[in-house]
Amino acid sequence: MAMSITNGRTPEQVAEARQVLKAFARAGYQLFPLKRGTKVPRDEGWQTKTYSLAGDIAAWVKQGGNIGIRLGDADLVIDVDPRNFAQGDNPLARLSQDVGVDLEDAPTVVTGRGDGGRHLYWRKPAGLRIHPKLKDYRGVDFRTAGGFVVAAGAAHPDTGGLYYMQDEPLPPISDVREAPDALLALIAREDNAIRIGGEGAGIMTNEQMAAMLAVLDPADFGRGHYDRWIALAAACHDATGGGGLVEFLAWCAGDPDYADETAQERVVRHWASFKAGKRGGATYRTLLRAVADAGHAGLVAAFDMDDETFGPLDIGTDDLPHYDFGGER
């Protein structure tokens, strides 16, 4: 009699995946469903939705779905991708030597790609803003709040290989440690203050920005509209003083082109690259203008009336500060 398979997984592997996911949930990690056979979130609003382990997650795994782990502000996952290593180089080994700690001595999920890719679980101080990459260690990325990783037990969409938790002598997921100070110093953003000194940095709460974005269709800023998208991203960064990343990611995910793991990490890198500079570019006013142009001038007027610090916003002005966008296109 042929053994039944669930999306490339035997019943035994499904049961094992559920046990591993239970351990992650007990360790405080937030789980959410990915679309079947992909690394893309299944649901809109996945960044804020709550899923039950016994109901939503277990049922989805049983149906053959993959699971993602939504990272929080104190989470730090070192994403090792050997495909991006320079020939003959081992940047993770070099980084470990440079910080004086074996970074591989951590709870580890091996990816299903089958090329040695893996996720190393550490923690960082909440509120510490970090660089997602270091140019001297190509193939080693750093993931935290606003991003996600694929969970153990998932089937890789390209190879069918399973993500799995590496066994002893590595520590279990219940024993995630604080990253070494030397590593945190390397990856820390220079501008760890929330306010970045833009024209209106911090003029909106994250919730106010999200309400503005809710009336805009992300597809209107998607494929083929990079200039509009990057200007809006900079405007949202300025509006919230850099604090609205999670809400901006949630809005971007409404466009399928911005919903998968790779695209979301690209958004995070762009967001981290924004710096206030010369005059002439995008500020929070660019967001307000987009909202007004979309037929919601009343929403802008209501915000203007609520603001007692900055006074009238004059959203039609062409005198806007410039942003050094940086990042990658």
Establish if 194 belongs to a structural domain. no
Residues 183 and 61 in one domain: yes
Distance CA 101, CA 124 (A): 15
Q: Do 264 and 255 touch, CB atoms closer than 8 A? A: no
Q: In the predicted model, what is the mean pLDDT of the chain? A: 82
Residues 138 and 33 in one domain: yes
Average pLDDT score over residue span 113-141: 91
Residues 160 and 18 in one domain: yes
Average pLDDT score over residue span 118-138: 91
Residue 5 has pLDDT above 70, yes or no: no
SS3 68: strand
Q: Decide which of 202 and 290 is more confident.
A: 290
Closest CA to 119 of 16, 20, 258, 266: 20
Residues 141 and 34 in one domain: yes
Q: Which of 187, 215, 231 is the last residue of a domain?
A: 187
Average pLDDT score over residue span 53-60: 93
Beta strands in the chain (DSSP E): 30-33, 67-70, 75-80, 108-110, 118-123, 140-143, 148-150, 164-165, 275-279, 321-324
Beta strands in 87-225 (DSSP E): 108-110, 118-123, 140-143, 148-150, 164-165
Closest CA to 274 of 253, 243, 300, 252: 243
Residues 161 and 254 in one domain: no
Closest CA to 194 of 235, 246, 241, 127: 241
Write out pLDDT tens, residues 253-267.
888 888 887 788 788
Write out pLDDT tens, residues 133-157.
898 999 999 999 888 999 999 999 8
Q: Is the pTM of this model over 0.75?
A: no
Establish if 113 belongs to a structural domain. yes
Residues 42 and 126 in one domain: yes
Closest CA to 310 of 238, 229, 228: 238
Closest CA to 107 of 195, 157, 61, 169: 169
Establish if 3 belongs to a structural domain. no
Distance CA 272, CA 36 (A): 31
Q: Decide which of 259 and 282 is more confident.
A: 259
pLDDT computed for residue 119 by the predictor = 98
Counted domains in the chain: 2
Q: Decide which of 168 and 314 is more confident.
A: 168
Residues 225 and 288 in one domain: yes
Residues 22 and 157 in one domain: yes
Phi-psi region of 293 (alpha: psi -120 to 50; beta: other; left: phi over 0): alpha
Q: Which domain holds residue 60?
A: 11-187
Establish if 201 belongs to a structural domain. no
Beta pairing, strands 108-110 & 275-279: unpaired
Q: Do 17 and 8 touch, CB atoms closer than 8 A? A: no
Give the pLDDT band (50/70/90) at residue 304: low
pLDDT computed for residue 286 by the predictor = 86
Q: Decide which of 103 and 3 is more confident.
A: 103
Establish if 271 belongs to a structural domain. yes
Residues 33 and 174 in one domain: yes
pLDDT computed for residue 265 by the predictor = 79
Residues 55 and 169 in one domain: yes
On the question of a cis peptide bond just before residue 169, with omega within 30 degrees of 0, the verdict is: yes
Give the pLDDT band (50/70/90) at residue 201: low
Residue 244 has pLDDT above 60, yes or no: yes
pLDDT computed for residue 172 by the predictor = 95
pLDDT computed for residue 302 by the predictor = 77
Q: Which of 123, 156, 187 is the last residue of a domain?
A: 187
Residue 126 has pLDDT above 90, yes or no: no
Residues 22 and 166 in one domain: yes
Residues 238 and 128 in one domain: no
Establish if 22 belongs to a structural domain. yes
Distance CA 18, CA 14 (A): 6
Residue 286 to residues 231, 246, 295, Cα–Cα distance (Å) = 7, 19, 15
Distance CA 288, CA 299 (A): 9
Establish if 234 belongs to a structural domain. yes
pLDDT computed for residue 137 by the predictor = 94
Establish if 82 belongs to a structural domain. yes
Q: Which of 157, 187, 217 is the last residue of a domain?
A: 187
